[in-house]
Copies of this chain bind each other. A is one copy, B any other.
């Protein structure tokens, strides 16, 4: 198979041995695989794949057809369209994944949408519902809402009956995020539009003080990205106490199979039906052939996109 490979902090696309499925695993003929911030970090040498995943083939999410079944599998058959979060190895023509991490692809979705869905929708759903416990009627603020996780979170919040506010730095991207169901504002002075019950932080610690000040009593902050303004900040714990608030931090990638499988079952039950009806979608900013992975990563890093960058294998 051909696979994107990280060598000395650069990407090459080269021939690799075909993997073979073991107990409970599916071999998937990958059709599409989204690019995520973790891939960018991993290429720089900063975010190694968890044990058991390919160490030098990036790619945290994929979609494709089941090509072969390992012993003891029972959820899918050959030819089924599946998508999943994987610990790595998604950006290749073939990938292995445990069948309990796989989800069926909703019928209305094409390959680029399916290949860019799993990581961002699992991440957003886990953060705003499983962790932060967003409830109907609550006010959700999504920071950095034009990206993959941001567009997912805006749509999920809206579909759950929350009132969604979103910060988007680039003016030209704001109308599209408005159309996804958010009241869109610039990042500067976002606290004046509060208070918020749940804040999804995708940008960094630079927002933390204003996040806390604009949080309602009983509010929750879910931090799942700090690439924009970095990880370090001052915090006033009295401010947290007075609001009876909490701050969650999370990443999806290092979780064990059982936790990823649980999160996938929740997404199957609570999110995939929304794709079937067309209530939500996966915005795809651009696609690139697997051979142009380097260009795709450059496009991802350049920012200013709405939604996902997806590789087609």
Please list the residues of chain A having a beta carbon within 8 angstroms of any beta carbon in chain B. Answer: 131, 201, 204-205, 208, 223-224, 226, 231-251, 254-255
Contact = CB atoms under 8 A, between A and B. Distances in A.
B249 A240 contact: yes
Nearest to A205: B237
Contact of A241 (B223, B238, B239, B245): B223
A210 to B, nearest CB: 14
Contact of A233 (B234, B243, B247): B234
A173 to B, nearest CB: 25
A66 to B, nearest CB: 30
Given A131-B246, A246-B131, A246-B246, A241 B251 contact: yes
Contact of A243 (B208, B231, B249): B249
A205 B232 CA distance: 15
A249 B245 contact: yes
Contacts of A241: 223-224, 226, 231, 249-251
Contacts of A208: 235, 237
A10 to B, nearest CB: 25
Given A241-B250, A245-B249, A246-B248, 14 more contacts: A205-B236, A223-B237, A223-B240, A223-B241, A231-B237, A231-B239, A231-B241, A232-B236, A232-B237, A237-B249, A240-B249, A242-B251, A244-B250, A244-B251
20 contacts: A201-B237, A204-B237, A205-B236, A208-B235, A208-B237, A223-B237, A226-B237, A231-B238, A231-B241, A232-B236, A232-B237, A233-B234, A233-B235, A233-B237, A234-B235, A235-B235, A237-B249, A241-B250, A246-B247, A247-B247
B244 A249 contact: yes
Contacts of A236: 205, 231-232
A251 B240 CA distance: 10
Contacts of A244: 249-251, 255
B250 A238 contact: no
Contacts of A204: 237
A112 to B, nearest CB: 28
A243 B233 CA distance: 17
Contacts of A223: 237, 240-241
A233 B240 CA distance: 12
A250 to B, nearest CB: 5
A83 B287 CA distance: 66
Nearest to A204: B237
Nearest to A251: B241
Given A223-B240, A241-B224, A205 B246 contact: no
Contacts of A234: 232-235
Contacts of A250: 241, 244
